[in-house]
Structure formats: C-alpha cells, structure tokens
C-alpha cells in the first residue's frame, strides 16, 4: 500500500496549516477562554473560506469529494494547533453521515453550517449549543433536530476548550430522517480515525514545545537540550510519533472497506496516536520542569486535549477489543498487514 502523499494533498494541508497558524495561536485561544466565548467567528469564517468544511462531502452534495486520508491530514493539523471549533466532528463525522441520508439538505448547502452529533458511544455532545443542527440516535433511528428542540446541560470537561453538553428529551417522530443503523457504525469509525489524527498532531506539538524550551532554558551555562537525558526523552517521544503515523495512514486508506480489518486498523491508530500524544505531553512536562505544570505554559493545554480525545469515541479498552477480534479471528503475519475482506 502506497502512503506517499500527492502534491495536491500536501498543498491542501499546507493551506489548512496556514489558516490554523494565523488564527489559532495560543494567545488568541487563552483570550477566548477568558471571555468564555463559544466560537471565534473570524476563525470559523477563515476555515470555511479555505474549503475545509466540505472536504468529505460528495460532489453531488456540494463538496470536494476527497477521501479520509485527506481529511485525516487536516485533522492532524487541527490537533497540532488545538483548534477549539468543531471542524472535525462536524465536517468529518456528522456532515458525511447527513449527506448519506439527505444529500440535498439545506445544512449541507451552507458550508458554514455546524452539525453536532449525539452518538451513543459518547454520553456528552461536543458544542451542541453552537450547532445549527444535531444528529441524534433514538432507538437506532437517526433524527435531525435543532439545538432549541432539546434541553442542554453544560458539563465540565478536563479540556476547557472542549465544550460538552448532556442532552435530554425525546425527539419528535417528524424529525426522523433514517433508520439505517450502519450509518452510526460508520460515523464511529470516522470519528475514531480523526480523533487519532488529532492525537498525532498534539503529540508533535508537545515535542516541538519541549524542543523550543530546551534550546532556550540554560543550566550550568548550557542549554538543557544539549544534555543526553533530555535528548533521549524527546527522541523516545518522536519515535512513538513516527511509528504511529503509518498506522494512521493505513487506517485512513482502508476506512471505506468497512470490514473487520479496517475497524482493527482504526482502533490501532486511535490507541497508537493517543498513546503517543500522552507520552509526548508528559515528556514535555518533564522537560519544562516545574514551569510545565503552570497555567502560563502551553503544554498543559496539549495534555488536556489529549486526555479528552483518549476517552471520547471509544474507550481504550473498547478499541483493544476490536484489535483483538481481528487478531484472534483472522490470519496474521506479514502478508496480512493490509488484508481486507473479499466480497
């Protein structure tokens, strides 16, 4: 399987990174938290203008018709810059699901629409209050409702930039748009995959923060980055990132297969990428020393986002079960690395 990225893919992800770099610096994020703003409209407008919200939509629904790997690269960049807006959940998870049901939906016609998703695997819904619509699962059926049609209770999150809500109430029968239960399984796989991609971006951000600090912080007249103990810690973190990257790309390339192999790869990617993010964040804390535990240093924001993603879209033990299901029920070996079900 060839994971080499094309020039078009690299150009598109570079454009995404440029938007995030210009609008998502940590000073701006901190001011957003201080004001308790739910949304940065200028940043969201820039995201929409770049076309990031329609990447996963088919062309008949007004989208670009690109694949999971293309969006995984964008999700990785969003993770690196700790984007607080629900681009990944809306454009990567909810919008493709709605397009599979109602490709002519008015919400899809407007690229600025934000669609939240209340998946059974998550007790809380991300950014439900700023959504234009919410996809709900009620007894296996899919309902499309407006935020005002459900009661929302804000719940605390370890990540202050992940705004979570508990929804209550029973959707009206008229809001049902589908009874295809497999769409929820597909949404789960996309969400787990893109959570993994964000984790990979977070891991790299943690290492980069530590490297920058290690170049500046001096002890005994030398930058601490010149000491082997620091170098080895950071090298271990970077190694985890590089080993997780092809796992993520393989999972993205095989997402559309919807079989036991693709599900295992997605789960493996989520485990590998979020474990890399956790390890890199804790390593970065150690490199920063006591300063790393202070609110003023950005590394704590990375760690909190990594923890939030680790326990959303499937607990770690649930993903280990999916990996084990593939290992114990299908052939294993080098020739099975990229296996898939034959129709």
Rounded to whole angstroms, the Cα distance separating 92 from 189 reads 11
CATH topology of domain 182-336: Butyryl-CoA Dehydrogenase, subunit A; domain 3 (1.20.140)
Rounded to whole angstroms, the Cα distance separating 191 from 38 reads 22
In DSSP terms, which residues pair with 293 in a beta bridge? Answer: none
The pLDDT of residue 1 is 65
**Radius of gyration in angstroms for the set of CA atoms belonging to the chain, rounded to a whole number:** 20
pLDDT per position as a tens digit, 127-156: 999 999 999 999 999 999 999 999 999 999
Stretch 248-258: mean pLDDT: 95
Rounded to whole angstroms, the Cα distance separating 275 from 233 reads 15
Helix or strand holding residue 142 (H, E): strand 141-145
CA 76 to chain centre: 7
Say what the pTM is. 0.96
Rounded to whole angstroms, the Cα distance separating 97 from 185 reads 10
Nearest to 156 by CA among 304, 338, 50, 290: 304
Residues near 64 by beta carbon (within 8 Å), at least 6 away in sequence: 51, 54, 55, 57
DSSP class of residue 152 equals E
The pLDDT of residue 155 is 96
Q: Is the dihedral of CA 120, 122, 128, 133 positive or negative?
A: negative
The pLDDT of residue 3 is 67
Stretch 234-258: mean pLDDT: 96
DSSP class of residue 9 equals H
115-118/133-138 β-pairing: parallel
- Residue 221 binned pLDDT confidence (cut-offs 50, 70, 90): confident
């Amino acid at each position: 399987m060839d994971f080499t990225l094309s020039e078009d893919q690299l150009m598109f992800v570079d454009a995404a990174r440029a938007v995030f770099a210009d609008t998502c610096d940590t000073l701006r994020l901190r001011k957003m938290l201080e004001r308790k703003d739910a949304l940065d409209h200028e940043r969201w407008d820039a995201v929409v203008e770049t076309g990031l919200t329609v990447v996963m939509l088919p062309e008949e629904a007004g989208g670009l018709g690109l694949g999971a790997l293309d969006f995984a690269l964008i999700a990785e960049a969003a993770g690196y810059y700790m984007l607080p807006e629900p681009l990944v959940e809306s454009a990567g998870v909810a919008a493709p699901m709605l397009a599979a049901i109602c490709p002519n939906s008015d919400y899809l016609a407007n690229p600025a629409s934000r669609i939240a998703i209340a998946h059974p695997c998550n007790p809380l819904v991300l950014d439900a209050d700023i959504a234009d619509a919410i996809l709900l699962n009620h007894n296996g059926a899919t309902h499309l409702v407006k935020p005002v049609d459900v009661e929302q209770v804000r719940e605390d999150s370890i990540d202050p930039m992940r705004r979570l809500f508990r929804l209550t109430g029973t959707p009206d029968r008229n809001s049902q748009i589908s009874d295809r239960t497999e769409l929820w399984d597909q949404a789960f796989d996309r969400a787990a995959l893109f959570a993994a991609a964000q984790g990979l971006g977070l891991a790299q951000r943690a290492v980069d923060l530590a490297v920058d600090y290690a170049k500046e912080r001096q002890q005994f007249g030398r930058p601490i980055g010149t000491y082997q103990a620091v170098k080895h810690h950071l090298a271990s973190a970077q190694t985890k990132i590089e080993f997780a990257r092809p796992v993520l790309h393989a999972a993205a390339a095989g997402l559309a297969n919807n079989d036991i192999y693709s599900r295992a790869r997605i789960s493996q990617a989520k485990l590998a990428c979020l474990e890399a993010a956790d390890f890199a964040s804790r390593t970065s804390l150690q490199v920063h020393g006591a300063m790393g535990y202070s609110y003023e240093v950005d590394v704590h924001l990375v760690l909190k986002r990594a923890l939030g993603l680790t326990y959303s879209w499937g607990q770690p033990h649930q993903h280990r079960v999916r990996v084990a299901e593939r290992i114990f029920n299908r052939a294993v070996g080098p020739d099975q690395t990229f296996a898939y079900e034959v129709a």
